[in-house]
Amino acid sequence: MDKLLIRGGARLEGELRASGAKNSAVLMLASSLLADEPVTISNVPHLRDITTMIELLVSLGVEVVVDEKMNIEIHANTIKRFTAPYDLVRQMRASFLVLGPMLAHYGRAEVSLPGGCAIGPRPVDQHLRGLQALGATIEMDEGYVKASVDGRLKGARFRFDFSTVGGTEHILMAATLAEGTTVLENCAQEPEIIDLADFLNAMGAQITGQGTETITIQGVKALHGCHHRVIADRVEAATYLIAAAATGGKVKMRDVIPSHLDAVLNKLREAGADIEVGPDWVLLDMKGRRPKAVSLVTAPYPAFPTDLQAQILAMNCIADGVATVKETIFENRFMHVHEMNRMGANIRLEGNNTIAIVTGVESLKAAPVMANDLRASVSLVIAGLIAEGDTVIDRIYHIDRGYEQVEEKLRTLGADIERIQSR
């Protein structure tokens, strides 16, 4: 099993291009099941989660062609099977979202209940209630969701009990082929949902209101082929900017959408960073300064994202002052705290482990640490970059799920990092 070895102390400086958004690309791969013609998706990151979704599509009999630039062409009309197996769905939660597209297009689907990061329970009841509102029959059988519909799904008005990104995406996809009009209320507003809706509209869907709390879908009989370019990964871009701030460095992220980064840029300015923004780039310069501690509360977009909580926590470990970080989205998302404390951080958990009180220390000390989920793993990379000595991070397959060529990109910025094999 691969590990990362980081020799800390280097200040990150240089330029990087943001990869395509993983959370957009995996959903577009799933929604390709809705099309009667081939679709092509470009700017797709080369990540384990992308490979998992491709493997899932291929297991269904779908023809998938990938070129050397990670342009992906999907021929969904070659589908032969309608059961998504546990061995693949357990690897990534988003795999579950092939259920709605298969059901809407072919009238039936069987999908294992999802797996993915161990960051607390994330039930799919909103997904299933939404599909039932559209007329689906849902049965549970030995860990599989079996869905069917007599004819086409039917448009309906459905309100989510809470803002759910996956639920919004799932019912949005299914409703594109429903008969009549669907109105979804209390929708999540993340940029990746807008990107997915734009992709579906390019295929002939009729979706309006994406990016607001209310999305309206006028169902169509069929979707055709298209070509779509995935938007920039805002979480990846922000991660490298936070790493630069933690090391006192200067990094320019190119090919980004700056407005998607507003919440994190405001916190980085609060931490003492000088930030310049252009049409498709962001430049952060700490001028060698130690960051100031910044408190935050995670919340749905456009507020501060839960997927950047661990990274900011790592920066706060060596910041000047005391910060309070409150997690409101997922349970059990402070698993990285114990690993950081082993490196000399001063973090105390309160509020049934939903609040972290971080007292900044002058420096961290290298230690062997273990990654537990995707974002926690990259926060340990940031901790390793600012620690004294050699940090070894185990179970880095979590990082490979969401960060494309992480060690190569960090080396471009001057980090001393390498991938090593376990003995």
Q: Which residues are catalytic?
A: 117
Contacts of 234 (CB under 8 A, 6+ apart): 21, 191, 256, 257, 260, 261
Integer CA distances (angstroms), 315 to 93, 95, 148, 171, 325, in order: 28, 32, 48, 37, 12
Place of tokens 């630069």: 244
Rounded to an integer, what distance in angstroms lies between the CA atom of residue 355 and that of residue 357?
Answer: 7
Q: What is the full DSSP assignment across 216-272?
A: EEE--S-B---EEEPPB-HHHHHHHHHHHHHTT-EEEEES--GGGGHHHHHHHHHTT
Spell out a b/e string for 92-101, using b for 16 or more CB atoms within 10 Å of the CB, else e: bbbbbbbbbb
Which of 129, 181, 176 lies closest to 155, judged by CA? 181
Q: Which two structure tokens, joined as six digits, stand for 139?
A: 């049965």
Calpha distance 291→338 (Å, rounded):
22
Please list the helix, strand and coil fractions of the chain in percent, rounded to the nearest 5, in that order.
Answer: 35, 25, 40
Q: Residue 26 belongs to what H/E stretch?
A: helix 22-31
Report how far Cα 36 is from the mean position of its chain's Cα atoms: 28
Q: In the structure encoding, which two tokens stand for residue 335, read together?
A: 């698993």
C-alpha distance from residue 84 to each of 65, 109, 144, 161, 414 (Å): 20, 8, 9, 27, 42
Residues 124, 116 contacting (CB under 8 angstroms): no
Q: With b meaning 16 or more CB within 10 Å and e meaning fewer, what string describes 172-195?
A: bbbbbbbeeebbbebbbbbbbbbb
* 3 state DSSP class of 16: strand
CA separation, residue 329 to residues 120, 164, 261, 305, 334 (Å): 10, 10, 18, 9, 12
Neighbours of 89 (CB within 10 A): 26
* Structure token digits, residue 389: 């000595």
Residue 105: strand, helix, or coil: helix
